[in-house]
Amino acid sequence: MAEPTAPEPTAPDPTAPDPTPDARAAALDAADPLRDRRAAFVLDDDTVYLDGNSLGALPRAVPGRLAEVVTHEWGRLRIRSWTESGWWTAPERVGDRIAPLVGSGPGQVVVGDSTSVNLFKALVAAVRTVPDDRDEILVDAASFPTDGYLARSAARLTGRALRPVPAGGIAAAAGPRTAVALVNHVDYRTGELHDLPGITAAVHAAGAPVVWDLCHSAGAVPVGLDAHRVDYAVGCTYKYLNGGPGAPAFLAVRPDRLAAFDSPLPGWNSHADPFAMAADHTPADGAARGRVGTPDILSLLALDAALDVWDGVDIAAVRAKSLALTDFFLDRVAAELPPGTAPSVTPADHARRGSQIALRHPDAAAVTQRLIAAGVVGDFRPPDLLRFGFTPLYTSFADVLRAVRVLRRVTLGAEG
């Protein structure tokens, strides 16, 4: 599958001069091809929610679907639902719904467990495919802490050394000693988008596989797993995919890697014949090799219902709106706040920007709380970052304008 290319936004240029910021926001919202998706979410009119990069908003279809699962499938059908309601095949079925959003194909994605568990599976399975003299695991030095913890554990388990490298240096660092590289697609603190095609190609040229963490890009940025021949990828589903708190994560494996995928956690659910209760493990075919234990059905089916909001959505259109939203936000911050008040640490270059903006402020923790009290929900990352996530399916340009005006008020004490 070719990687989607973001089209030119159909909305007006968010940096073009307009009579007033309000008119600009209104014009951008009127021209937004995704504007009708907002109605599919439970949102408060008095709150601007810019924390979808931590927990996505609730899709309206989820409560009713969960009630059906609980009262009918569990309450009435009970154990029959494993077959009659399709519970048993849900991890692969839901995986197939996520696959197009990350540029993967049918039968390559399985949903279950946490991102941490899936990272561990992918890392160890990757190392098991390379010769023993490839004795280094490269890891993005600025990765989310769990990624580093798990990479270190995988290194101990497989007798490798861990080598932290800045994400931008992994391509150059990859060499004959590289067993696998683990990279975050989007930096969780700064919102920087790393070069997935270039880094993947460089690691492959060095003869090693790569594992990508898509937690901050799945559902916000075109990924192109198949187009760029990514070996393994993992991601959570409770951010831009709106699956709910603690929703199960996903694991994607390139088709030609599936047959050799040797999971370090070979549970009964990944057995070729689970109910044979055999003493020896024979791995299942396809993505089911990534399963471990009994699926978390309630969370899994809540995610399945949440994914309905993606029906008919082009991820390239999502990317175009994401860039327009973040451009508008940066433009209004520059216009509303005195220079140096809250400088952005997120790259201005579209090719290096995810779907969040991080601003630096010396009193960021307190500012975040004042923003929340004033109805603008973002979050804080120590020591001094204000983080704002832009979820194109439900964030409006009017939201952005209001957020910046509140940011001005709480940082400067000015009316806006």
The catalytic residue positions are 144, 213, 238-239, 387
Q: HSE on the CB side for 91, CA within 13 Å?
A: 26
Say which residue the tokens 């989820």 belong to.
62
Among 394, 121, 70, 81, which Cα is nearest to 250's? 121
Q: What is the DSSP letter of 58?
A: E
Separation between Cα atoms, residue 87 and residue 271, nearest integer Å: 17
Query: How is residue 206 written in tokens?
Result: 């060095």
∠ CA(216), CA(222), CA(227), 5° rounding? Answer: 120
Separation between Cα atoms, residue 56 and residue 213, nearest integer Å: 18
Burial (CB count within 10 angstroms: exposed 0-12, middle 13-18, buried 19+), residue 20: exposed
Sequence-distant (≥ 6) Cβ neighbours of residue 415 within 8 angstroms: 409
| Interhelix angle 397-412/21-30, nearest 10 degrees | 150
Separation between Cα atoms, residue 219 and residue 37, nearest integer Å: 14
Q: Do 377 and 55 contact (CB within 8 A), yes or no?
A: no
